[in-house]
Amino acid sequence: MNPALEALFGSATRAKVLGFLANTREPRTGYAISKALDAFPSKVYPELRDLASAGFLRVVATRPGRKAYILVDDDLRRFLAKRFRMIAVEEWFAPAATEERERAAEAMARIKVDLPVLRPRPSAVPNREEFERSAEKDRALARIRRMTRGRLRRSVGR
């Protein structure tokens, strides 16, 4: 979760709910959303209720007594889709989505790019001596690494 999105929307749960709904085209129940986000339903349902009352989500009755939610603001959808990527398993494995990914993979396989071969020129690196290490420093770093690993093994073994 991008901390900037969390700060923008006021809570991590609200940002995740909006991000998830931005990447789905089908209305989702609160339970399905909480399951996809691995979040407690008791945290997701109040966010859904608040977002629906604010007009960001539309409530769709799927069956008597069951509600599903869908994001209605296309500008918000585009904003979130660029910054948050999460998709429902059913949508990922839907035949149309699978075919689309396969077509994209085939198109990518046809792309050929010839990259120039770059040969390193030591003279092109300014102050290259700053990046060179002496053998003495290599030995000292190896000694520190051995000591640190020994301490880590002892602390994990307890």
**What Å distances lie between residue 140 and 35, 65, 78, 137, 143, CA to CA?**
51, 69, 52, 5, 5
CA 46 to CA 30: how far, in whole Å?
10
pLDDT for residue 81 is more than 60: yes
The pLDDT value given to residue 61:
85
pLDDT for residue 12 is more than 80: yes
pLDDT for residue 156 is more than 70: no
Q: Which amino acid is at 139?
A: R
Q: The whole model's pTM is what? A: 0.57
* Residue pair 15/9 in contact by the 8 Å Cβ criterion: yes
Place of tokens 């770093």: 141
The pLDDT value given to residue 151:
66
